[in-house]
A = this chain, B = another copy of it.
């Protein structure tokens, strides 16, 4: 999906919500566990109940890997279901990969070709040749970690390098890489006050913003500092939507939570 198509979906649905599909067997309604494929059953119910209110889904790959072969099967089934039932929805593999060139190429193949994701999150520590194999897929997006939502972001990302903080250096340097027009960046909602600075460097690129919800970020602030005239934001919520309830009507409640966020987003979009 191109950036333009994603933007069109955002304006059409009045939503820039991304729902995180963090499939955790310990948090799902227990009655699902006796099903043949509990993770897929859970995801399907969540997707069916929330798809009207969001433009993207983001399975966090760790949760699937923790389930081994069954987890990979559930991931594949989930992405196939999305492609088949809701092809207008943008998909993000939250994988935070990054390795030397020939290895990053393998990860790109895994997530872009075999699973058919529209995008993947990538860690920048290993530099240009670890990221460019992802950027070679010019019909896909590569979402580089810039300033993450967690406390540990202050360990290295905000260190002052020669002339500016590391996360700024990451953004500026990556803008010079091949096919950098396909870059998006992860910036945590918990760091909303940094968004104004970031927008000076990348006025147009999409940002994937986790941390609204369970981690305490504020949607209004994110929009105030981060929104562009083409929106330029995908705001993710995982636990606060998908685990809002563990009762038999969990999907309905997740849908209501997603709808509430969509309404807030519609209000923000009216300000454009």
Contact = CB atoms under 8 A, between A and B. Distances in A.
Contacts of A110: 62, 65-68
Contact of A100 (B24, B101, B130, B149): B149
Contact of A127 (B69, B104, B152): B152
Interface in A126-177: 126-131, 145, 148-157, 159-162, 166, 169-170, 173
B129 A156 contact: no
Given A99-B96, A151-B128, A107 B161 contact: no
Contacts of A66: 106-107, 109-110, 114
Of A24, A68, A154, most buried by chain B (CB within 10 Å of CB) is: A68
B123 A152 contact: no
**Nearest 9 interchain pairs by C-beta:** A127-B152, A127-B155, A62-B106, A65-B110, A159-B161, A66-B106, A129-B152, A66-B110, A100-B150
Interface of A: 22, 24, 60, 62-63, 65-69, 72-73, 76, 94, 96-101, 103-104, 106-107, 109-111, 114-115, 123-131, 145, 148-157, 159-162, 166, 169-170, 173, 215
